[in-house]
């Protein structure tokens, strides 16, 4: 599983970080979400899909 953030869509609402802090965090200026887990770690994180489904602007891209 590869997870990416579409930087053009991200509105930095923080939902992804709240739902799945093992995979997402906000950048230093809190204006963009970042994926913080490695690809092999993401396979074991169940909350990634929940975060993607909860993103209000569909900025989380999951590639399998």
Rounded Cα–Cα distance for residues 64 and 62 (Å):
7
2-63: CATH topology: Alpha-Beta Plaits (3.30.70)
Any idea where the domains of the chain sit in the sequence?
2-63
pLDDT tens across 27-62, in order? 999 999 999 999 899 988 999 999 999 999 999 999
Where b means 16+ CB within 10 Å and e means fewer, 7-29 reads eeebeeeebbbebbeebbbbeee
Model pTM greater than 0.75?
Answer: yes
State yes or no: pLDDT of 64 exceeds 90.
no
């Amino acid at each position: 599983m590869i997870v990416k953030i579409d930087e053009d869509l991200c509105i930095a609402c923080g939902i992804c970080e709240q739902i799945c802090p093992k995979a997402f965090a906000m950048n230093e200026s809190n204006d963009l979400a970042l994926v913080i887990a490695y690809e092999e770690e993401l396979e074991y994180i169940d909350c990634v899909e929940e975060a993607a489904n909860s993103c209000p602007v569909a900025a989380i891209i999951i590639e399998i």
